[in-house]
Amino acid sequence: MNSPALSLRHNHFLNGGSALASGIRLPRSISSSSTSSSPFRVRMSLQENGPSVAVVGVTGAVGQEFLSVLSDRNFPYRSLKLLASKRSAGKSMKFEERDYTVEELTEDSFDGIDIALFSAGGSISKKFGPLAAQKGTIVVDNSSAFRMDENVPLVIPEVNPEAMAHVKLGSGKGALIANPNCSTIICLMAVTPLHRRAKVKRMVVSTYQAASGAGAAAMEELVQQTREVLEGKEPTCNIFNQQYAFNLFSHNAPIQPNGYNEEEMKLVKETRKIWSDKDVKVTATCIRVPVMRAHAESVNLQFANPLDENTARDILKNAPGIVVVDDRASNRFPTPLEVSNKDDVAVGRVRRDVSQDGDYGLDIFVCGDQIRKGAALNAVQIAEMLL
């Protein structure tokens, strides 16, 4: 017997719900719809000549967002297969007024599939990604499984689309394409336009990362803990080993021998690969903060060539996928709340670094939706480039 239908549009946590205002969607004050500014947008939908699409990990936070983005961007598809673990198989899900049944992910799941969007964890990607590619499927993987594989392109469409130029839909050849880490995507969306103009020599990043980066269960636990703390109860700590509500702590990724955690080193290594620049110096400190679904990042830049703050601001205003929120008079700058459920990455606090001589340094503050541009939207944009 099938489980009750899962409604994509009514997942409170994925829609950015507040811990104190259940059922209320976050405001969209930056723009009513930010997808139209993207050069990678394709306006179509279910059609016979579209690719066959599979979503792997469809019941998770990013899997659900895959569906939301596919619908919002009218991505063309002739068929859609929803895949998850054996535990989730048999669940009913409604998408674009059609009923689907979630199927168990198996080695036979990719027969006849053109594009597969993966977000089911690294171990699943390592097992099933190459199998899918061998069957002719182009896999866009959201895990870290293949990001640093020199034979797998690591792509942000607005930053390095040329990295996947050799991958062609309809060629009969499968492929793996990696989605960068969420913090890397959000950072490089803002920094790359400036890098192209003045060449970044050194970048110092401090991240303030939302619960969504740890999955839907972490988002739910943040809500639960908030209620418990306000009621004077001990907070439930199942996902993290310490109180999350009304607190912040060093990112929960494992610590490496050099003292950095895995999340911080992802930003270092992925930046170098995406920019094809092994010499750029990057250091990061990643912090988990009690925010629902959008990351914030403080970025300090040192350039090889001079770049003043006014020119930088103009460059950012004309960059695809970027919105500048930099109102000094009103003290209004990007916030995680305002970018939640948005496609664009917001940039503000653009100012000369006074610790450096001349116009060779800038500080900026960046916010982006971790589930959307930091994961699902970027993957769908990669898929759009294949059309």
Catalytic residue IDs? 182, 295
CB 320 within 8 A of CB 351: no
CB 304 within 8 A of CB 199: yes
CB 211 within 8 A of CB 244: yes
Task: Give the CB-side neighbour count of residue 298, counting CA atoms within 13 A.
Answer: 7
Tell me how far apart the alpha carbons of residues 140 and 162 are, in angstroms, rounded to a whole number: 16
Handedness of CA 286, 289, 295, 298 (dihedral sign): negative
Ranges of beta strands (E only) in 151-280 are 175-178, 200-209, 249-250
Rounded to 5, what percent of the chain is helix, strand, coil? Answer: 30, 25, 45
Tell me how far apart the alpha carbons of residues 115 and 321 are, in angstroms, rounded to a whole number: 24
